[in-house]
């Protein structure tokens, strides 16, 4: 099995920790919330074994990467500059960018705004929806009214941090193995009221699913105990700023070859319709719905995701 190695590099004025494996064409793997490079552990091995240079950074705010204090430090503009700079550090003109959850939004935006650097794109769980007709928090207030919605709950600095960091092992066991607080279809989430929190009413499972070992969970918990949740939550607090700073996302098309993957049971499907992205991604080659999978796609169905990634990569022009 190819070895995963670790180093820290400087890009865009910050220190970014990366995990990497293999040699060959560069594949950049961007994680979501609240994760780290570790969510790509299976794909790092699979891509390296197939002749690719797979690189998974801890996105700023996570793991062993820098964690700037300012909310605005987590805007998409800053994050994209991190990744373009990472390509420069690695000595690569182009890469295929793959992202899951918030990493998918980053990957789509990398492809949209830097087509000369990202030659193909894969998004998981979150489709490319361009630019909403109004600032996102206004849209969510319009959509959800008085109902509880996790992104609005995350907006006030310090509130969600206090809840999620109070007992990180419980938070992550509940989030990964139980009903996630972002599942707007779950009864326990749908019936929440103002003043409720992300974990209100959700039971913490005693046993883990087959795809997640106790050792995996312990690793994830240790990383989040070290980094805290503030950096990841600040990404949500930049949604309106991104809307104002990147108006070109309303019309720019992603012309590169693209693939979208989503779990059949992913709660994000309830409020992120795939069909809306098709006019903006005309070279979308496939929408792959993986049966039985939930939100943590590349971990839950590691073999299927790796196989789909490799099939997509092999179809790309050299």
Domain boundaries, the chain: 5-315
Q: Is the pLDDT of residue 271 over 80?
A: no
How many other CB atoms sit within 10 Å of the CB of residue 19?
22
Q: Is the pLDDT of residue 146 over 90?
A: no
pLDDT at res. 139:
94
- Please compute the mean of the pLDDT values over residues 144-168 and round it to a whole number: 96
Q: Is the pLDDT of residue 273 over 90?
A: no
pLDDT tens sequence across 201-260: 999 999 999 999 999 999 999 999 999 999 999 999 999 999 999 999 999 999 999 999
Computed over every residue of the chain, the mean pLDDT equals: 96
Residue recorded with tokens 């794109």: 121
User: What is the Cα–Cα distance from 262 to 268, expressed in whole angstroms?
Assistant: 9
Residues with Cβ within 8 Å of 293's Cβ and at least 6 positions away in sequence, in order, are 263, 264, 265, 266, 300, 301, 304
Which residues carry out catalysis?
101, 295
Of 81, 91, 110, the residue nearest 13 (C-alpha):
81
DSSP 182: T
- Please compute the mean of the pLDDT values over residues 61-70 and round it to a whole number: 98
Largest CA distance in the chain: 53
- Please compute the mean of the pLDDT values over residues 286-300 and round it to a whole number: 96
Q: Is the pLDDT of residue 272 over 90?
A: no
Q: Name the pLDDT band for 185 (thresholds 50, 70, 90).
A: confident
Residues with Cβ within 8 Å of 164's Cβ and at least 6 positions away in sequence, in order, are 34, 171, 198, 199, 229
Q: Name the pLDDT band for 194 (thresholds 50, 70, 90).
A: confident
User: What is the Cα–Cα distance from 300 to 1, expressed in whole angstroms?
Assistant: 20
Q: Is the pLDDT of residue 1 over 90?
A: no
User: What is the Cα–Cα distance from 152 to 236, expressed in whole angstroms?
Assistant: 9
Per CATH, domain 5-315 is 3.40.50.1820: yes
pLDDT at res. 24:
97
Q: pLDDT exceeding 90 applies to what percent of the chain?
A: 91
How many other CB atoms sit within 10 Å of the CB of residue 255?
12
Q: Name the pLDDT band for 118 (thresholds 50, 70, 90).
A: very high
Residue recorded with tokens 């998004």: 123
Are 22 and 2 in contact by the 8 Å Cβ rule? The answer is yes
- pTM of structure: 0.97
Q: Is the pLDDT of residue 96 over 80?
A: yes
pLDDT at res. 160:
98
Q: pLDDT exceeding 70 applies to what percent of the chain?
A: 100
Helix-then-strand count for the chain, H and E? 13, 8
Of 217, 147, 234, 142, the residue nearest 186 (C-alpha):
147
Q: Is the pLDDT of residue 284 over 80?
A: yes
């Amino acid at each position: 099995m190819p070895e995963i190695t670790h180093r820290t590099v400087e890009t865009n004025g910050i220190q970014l920790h990366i995990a990497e494996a293999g040699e060959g064409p560069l594949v950049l793997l961007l994680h979501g919330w609240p994760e780290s490079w570790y969510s790509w552990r299976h794909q790092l091995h699979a891509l390296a074994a197939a002749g690719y240079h797979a690189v998974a950074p801890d996105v700023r705010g996570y793991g062993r990467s820098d964690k700037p204090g300012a909310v605005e430090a987590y805007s998409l503009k800053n994050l994209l500059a991190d990744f373009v700079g990472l390509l420069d550090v690695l000595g690569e003109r182009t890469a295929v960018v793959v992202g899951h959850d918030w990493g998918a939004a980053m990957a789509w935006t990398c492809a949209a705004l830097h087509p000369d650097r990202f030659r193909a794109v894969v998004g998981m769980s979150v489709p490319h929806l361009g630019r909403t007709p109004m600032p996102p928090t206004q849209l969510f207030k319009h959509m959800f009214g008085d109902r509880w919605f996790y992104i609005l709950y995350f907006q006030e600095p310090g509130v969600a941090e206090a809840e999620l960091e109070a007992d990180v092992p419980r938070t992550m066991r509940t989030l990964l193995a139980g009903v996630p607080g972002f599942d707007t279809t779950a009864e326990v989430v749908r019936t929440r009221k103002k003043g409720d929190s992300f974990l209100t009413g959700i039971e913490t499972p005693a046993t883990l699913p087959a795809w997640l070992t106790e050792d995996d969970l312990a690793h994830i918990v240790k990383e989040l105990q070290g980094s805290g949740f503030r950096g990841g939550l600040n990404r949500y607090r930049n949604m309106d700023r991104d809307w104002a700073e990147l108006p070109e996302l309303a019309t720019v098309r992603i012309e590169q070859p693209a693939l979208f993957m989503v779990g059949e049971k992913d709660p994000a499907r309830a409020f992120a319709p795939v069909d809306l992205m098709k006019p903006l991604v005309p070279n979308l080659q496939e929408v792959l719905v993986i049966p039985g999978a939930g939100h943590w796609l590349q971990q839950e169905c590691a073999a299927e995701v790796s196989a789909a990634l490799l099939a997509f990569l092999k179809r790309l022009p050299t």
